[in-house]
Amino acid sequence: MIAVMVTWRWFGYTTLLYLASLQAVPRTIYEAAAVDGAGAWKQFRQISIPSLRPVIVFTVVTSTIGGLQIFTEPLLVSRTAPLTCGPVRQCQTLTLFLYEQGFGQFQFGYGAAIGVALFVLIIAVAALNYILSTRIRPG
């Protein structure tokens, strides 16, 4: 249920990014490829995907950061007072745990430590995503 809510939340935004990026590709490139005998699949693979590369890198990095910061969706699902999101913490995220420790248990030092750890984790994962996505060259 949380995955559906997150997908619904960000689907329109990423769709607009991809649509705007595709519309920025000049039609003359596709026309020249069609004259040279390239089919629809080859045009997609050789023109569209390389043109979308910066947007793909951007959306992968921002989606990773957003995924690590999910807070609202599990909070809406959780109906228990300590915000554990179920008896065995089925859907508790790191940000929800930070909120629970800092503002539910009033352990602000522990909550701040979780926040710093989350920041370091986000920086590390975003850097890894960026490095991996820039090393992969379109073929």
Residue of 54, 69, 52 lying closest to 125 (CA atoms): 69
With beta carbons less than 8 A apart as the criterion, state whether 38 and 46 touch.
yes
Q: Is 41 in a helix, a strand, or coil?
A: helix
Q: What band does 133 get if pLDDT is binned at 50, 70 and 90? A: confident
Q: To which H or E segment does residue 128 belong?
A: helix 108-135
What is the mean predicted confidence (pLDDT) over 70-88?
Answer: 74
Residue 85 scores a pLDDT above 80: no
2-135 CATH, one of 1.50.10.10, 1.10.3720.10, 3.40.50.720, 3.30.930.10: 1.10.3720.10
* pLDDT of res. 84: 67
Q: What is the 3-state secondary structure (H, E, C) of 19-36?
A: HHHHHCCCHHHHHHHHHC
Residue spans of the domains in the chain: they are 2-135
* pLDDT of res. 89: 77
| pLDDT, tens digit (0-9, with 9 covering 90-100), for 19-61 | 999 999 999 999 999 999 999 999 998 899 888 888 988 898 8
Share of the chain above pLDDT 70, in %: 92
* pLDDT of res. 135: 75
With beta carbons less than 8 A apart as the criterion, state whether 99 and 91 touch.
no
